[in-house]
Amino acid sequence: MEQKKIEQAYIQELYVQEDDLLKSVTTGLVENGLPLISIPPEVGKAIYLLAKISGAKRALEIGLLGGYSTIWLARGMGTGGEVVSLELKEEHVDFARQNLSRAGLLDQVSILVGDALVILDQLIGNKERFDFMVIDADKINYPLYIEKVLQLADPGAILCCDNLFFNGRIFNEKDARNPAPAAVRKVNEILSSHPRLEAILFPIGDGLGVARVKA
């Protein structure tokens, strides 16, 4: 564990340029009594680079919180990109809007509030399409989220799933039988074997799964 912390600090110091605005999101979460569960800076940088390299134009994000990952994602897409972000809790949305506004990105982000599974069904019904997708929400529903976002994905779309080590709980056989870690283990199995996906699990942060949707 100590070695992992050293590696993480090294990556963050050398590879991640987290500006004052991004740092303030974390500070604001504490000040507003919101959970400190944003992606770590190195995962944000990875999503930024993937969005930039892929040339993504329309992204879907499940799990907004304070808008930290949204800022990384929108910056990677550039001024022509659009992010549709799903969030369950209104208090998270209010704080995220403030951060997105300060980042000059509010016009590029559409926030849909409510149960993500319900909203995803609505997006499917409307035949919406996306070329980049980020899942960082309640772990129990991860397998269902993947099933639904694949119905919204363009060929060649990139899918990122965070927390796929789940703080090491997926490696504890007894703990892994509990609903949340069991769902995360299932997600790893889905990503590694789904016929429509080419995927890898990167050991940064708490485990970042990255997949490309086949035609």
- 145-156, pLDDT tens digit by residue? 999 999 999 999
Q: Distance of CA 36 to CAs 15, 50, 98, 111, 194, Å?
A: 22, 24, 17, 20, 32
User: Quick one: pLDDT at residue 17?
Assistant: 86
Measured CA to CA, the distance from residue 153 to residue 30 in angstroms comes to 35
State the Cα–Cα distance between residues 208 and 201, nearest whole angstrom: 6
Q: What is the largest CA-CA distance in the chain?
A: 48
Q: How many beta carbons lie within 10 A of that of residue 155, not counting itself?
A: 10
pLDDT in tens, 6-31: 999 999 999 998 999 999 999 999 99
Pairing of strands 130-135, 58-62: parallel
d(CA 95, CA 14): 29
Q: Is residue 201 left, alpha or beta, with left meaning phi > 0 and alpha meaning psi from -120 to 50?
A: beta
pLDDT digits (tens, 9 = 90+) for 80-101: 999 999 999 999 999 999 999 9
Domain ranges in the chain?
A: 2-213
Which segments within the chain are labelled E, that is strand?
58-62, 82-87, 109-113, 130-135, 153-161, 197-202, 208-213
Domain 2-213: give its CATH superfamily.
Answer: Vaccinia Virus protein VP39 (3.40.50.150)
Question: Burial, 117: exposed, middle or buried (Cβ in 10 Å; 0-12, 13-18, 19+)?
Answer: middle
3-state secondary structure (DSSP) of residue 87:
strand
For 43-84, how does the pLDDT look when each residue is reduced to its tens digit (9 = 90+)? 999 999 999 999 999 999 999 999 999 999 999 999 999 999
How far, in Å, CA of 99 to CA of 174, rounded?
40
Q: Quick one: average pLDDT of 175-184?
A: 90
Instruction: Give, in order, the Cα–Cα distances in Å from 6 to each of 2, 11, 23.
Output: 6, 9, 20
The overall pTM is greater than 0.85? yes
